[in-house]
Amino acid sequence: MKRLLRETRPVGRSALKHGGTITLSNERGTTARLLLALFAVALLPANISQAQFASPTQQMRSRGAQQGAPSGRSAPQAPAPPKVLLPNDPAAPLAVVGEQPIFLGDILPRVDARISEVSKKTGQKVPDDQLQLVRTQVARGLLVQTIQNKQMRECFLLDQVGTQPADKRKEVQDQMESRARQLFFETQVPSLLEKHDALTLAELETKLTETGVTLQMQQRDFIDQMLASMWIRSVVDDNPKVTLAEAFQRYQQQVDEYYQPEKARWEQLTVLFKNHPSPEEAGKTLGLMGREAFFGGNLSAVAREKSEEAYAGDGGIHDWISKGSLASKPLDTAIFSLPLNQLSEFITDDEGMHIIRVLERTDSGYRSFAEVQEDIIDQIRKEKIQAAQKSVLKKMRHRVAVWTLFPDDVPESLPLLR
């Protein structure tokens, strides 16, 4: 193991250009493609910058798939069987980030836990002869996330020590990890104790082990994520300035998005012909409801008790709809022509008879810049943050070398010797 790590130890980006590669195993085995597709989708890890982290090869494949898809049809494709399967030894390295190895044992418990979780939700058990393939697919997603966290962690430490000697780096790293461990026990352990219904750390460790993880694994992941988050916050402004001029220019560019048709909201009493022996009887029932609402002043109460339409339980209140969107043309016409806050005459359509009271109505037109400027500013701000993240991640990949068994998954990485 030590010899392997010495062989793959980073020696600077310039040296990487001359590094050798190996021919990876072509072991495939038969696979249930539909099952692999299910797990590939269900187990995709959440990642704040997964799109930026996609390799050029992956981006080209994605674009090609979108451009080549038949019009009007969506046919999900199962992922191809991986060229490289996971090793069997938990001590086998899957990647080296800077000088930090990532071993199979570091992520395998999470891999198996996710597979078990999805199997329970879907009721589908992975066949024994397909388990290694599914494990590989899931592990690749988790490995990408783990590599990115370690790259950001490494950048954070490099920013702290600069060009200082290795012993200074070790000192700073120990200090950072000590503080992160303290935060882990202060902020994470209490919630873990509650989640697993444990009273002591020993009891918590036992219950975590039953799920395939350990407290040490949880702590290590927390430290990596915390240092990665600290680095991102230190290099990306989470509140970039957006001027009113920028916002107004965007408003003009997408003004069509702010057009709104005429809208209205109203109260309604309804009798359905199917519930009465004749239209005359239906009309009598609606008349009684209308008089009760008029003299009692509470249409909503009458609607809850006696109305026969779907919104009766909500007091007959119908929220905002656009003109022309109702199936009942007589109702649509009345809603957008009657005076506000007055009970209507009977309105008859194919389903029944109705009394309405229009509560509010807005004219069609474009929302003003003043109405939408805060939304536009938020939109531009998010775009600036995403662009800044993309830029720093690109620099990060050149700054921290990566070797991995799956170089197609990680931009700027090299194959890891096996």
pTM of the model: 0.57
Mean pLDDT of 59-64: 40
**Which class is 262-363 in CATH?**
alpha beta
| pLDDT over 50 (residue 336) | yes
When pLDDT is cut at 50, 70 and 90, the band that residue 144 belongs to is very high
Domain extents in the chain = 1-63+80-157+394-418, 163-235, 246-252+367-387, 262-363
Task: Answer positive or negative: Cα dihedral of 404, 408, 414, 418.
Answer: positive
Contact 135, 112 (CB under 8 A): yes
Q: Which long-range contacts (CB under 8 A, 24 or more apart) does 341-348 make?
A: 343/290, 343/293, 343/294, 343/299, 346/283, 346/286, 346/287
Distance between CA 241 and CA 31 in Å, rounded?
51
Q: Which long-range contacts (CB under 8 A, 24 or more apart) does 103-109 make?
A: 104/139, 106/146, 106/217, 106/220, 107/139, 107/142, 107/143, 107/146, 108/135, 108/139, 109/211, 109/212, 109/213, 109/214, 109/217
What is the amino acid identity at position 142?
L
Distance between CA 166 and CA 277 in Å, rounded?
92
> Cα-Cα-Cα-Cα dihedral of 64, 66, 70, 72, to 10°?
-170
pLDDT greater at residue 55 or residue 152: 152
pLDDT tens profile 178-223: 888 888 899 899 999 998 899 999 999 888 887 778 888 888 888 8
| pLDDT over 80 (residue 45) | no
Closest CA to 302 of 343, 269, 351, 335: 269
> Tokens 């408003």 appear where?
251
| pLDDT over 90 (residue 328) | yes
Token pair for 220: 């290590």
